[in-house]
Structure 1
């Protein structure tokens, strides 16, 4: 690529660390069909996204307990066993992150994350504290792919959009970043990330 990259912005979940709610729930709800029903009707993706937008876990649990009082143990398990949903980092992605920082590149993080689980993630994965800073969706009350979160991150870290490269596993988030004026890499695996970073002269 002919464009000079001055800022690199990493997503976290499924780019730097693995995330899979199924991991603890395979133990909590062993039956595959029941577990599928639970995620489609109780602790749904849309429900969880609101914690990324800033809703507290107490509020989130209360909302579901009112509708599904017989599912209290399963509902509370989502936050209680959240740490089991993030079992390991993506080593090659983290190696790129740490290498770019060591080379003096400007690296920041932009993530859809609940407030307290982000603090927990920092304890589990200390490398998340190495970049210059982070925009956590719950703390700014905005979530990707809303254009305002890209604007907020750009202004907070004084980025030049045309010279900013974003790495995210979600195609809608990538498309929104490009629409805002950033360069972007859609993360689909370590080999592709190696190749894409080379394209931008960053590997």
Structure 2
């Protein structure tokens, strides 16, 4: 599916003036299985836990701003025999995010070094984002960031794109959004932005070039995180 053909893609001839990056699975690696391989060695049992107990939908509510204590209580009420494993999700969160993608961060920093207006729009719980910013300083190098958990809104809700555009004075038709999630890309398109589905740094370079975004790889990089 070519997401750029989605209704609402906007005026493809207008130059890009704003670039908005997602964070998880675009700039930072994220995999909850990494925190549970030791605790739940059996792959089938671990997959059941992360799909039925502490699922993506369950975790999305923390990205929407639900406190971890409430999240843990809700899951423990459903699975009281797994209370310690449920609490381990937050306790071992840092293990789920072991590193940044160096090739993606290189592209990210080249957009900054080339003088483009860059911001971040992410589904992230407020407290874990504070932790991420300390561990990965490049997250502090843009003009600003919208964190879903601080608003009570998550992608792909149209309201979060509109809030981000209003906060940073973005022209939607001149804004290019990069996200690994197709529903989030479609949400941006519905909001009148232009958007690309991220699948890797090499394709990102080619996609940026196709959108007329020039990167000067010879320019000095910002300090390494």
TM-score by length of 2: 0.87
Report the 3-state secondary structure (helix = DSSP H, G, I; strand = E; otherwise coil) of the residue aligned with 1:16: coil
Report the 3-state secondary structure (helix = DSSP H, G, I; strand = E; otherwise coil) of the residue aligned with 2:37: helix
Of the three residues 17, 28, 34, the one matched with 1:23 is 34
CA-to-partner distance for each residue in 1:114-168, whole Å, 9 max, x for gaps?
A: 0100001101111000010000001111000000000000000000001000000
Deviates more, 1:172-181 or 1:6-15: 172-181
Instruction: Return the alpha-carbon distance in structure 2 between the equivalents of residues 170 and 63 of structure 1.
Output: 26
Q: Give me the CA root mean square deviation.
A: 1.1
1:117 aligns with 2:104: no
CA-to-partner distance for each residue in 1:40-95, whole Å, 9 max, x for gaps?
A: 22101111000000001111011112222221211011001100111111112111
Q: Structure 2: 5+ residue runs without aligned partners?
A: 1-11, 216-225
Residue number in structure 2 paired with 1:149:
160
Q: Structure 1: 5+ residue runs without aligned partners?
A: none
Instruction: Return the alpha-carbon distance in structure 1 between the equivalents of residues 199 and 113 of structure 2.
Output: 24
Instruction: Return the alpha-carbon distance in structure 2 between the equivalents of residues 176 and 65 of structure 1.
Output: 32
Residue number in structure 2 paired with 1:77:
88
Higher helix fraction (1 or 2):
1
Report the 3-state secondary structure (helix = DSSP H, G, I; strand = E; otherwise coil) of the residue aligned with 1:12: coil
Report the 3-state secondary structure (helix = DSSP H, G, I; strand = E; otherwise coil) of the residue aligned with 2:16: coil
Residue number in structure 1 paired with 2:6:
none
Report the 3-state secondary structure (helix = DSSP H, G, I; strand = E; otherwise coil) of the residue aligned with 1:41: helix
Between Structure 1 and Structure 2, how many residues are aligned?
203
Q: How far off is 1:195 after superposition?
A: 0.7
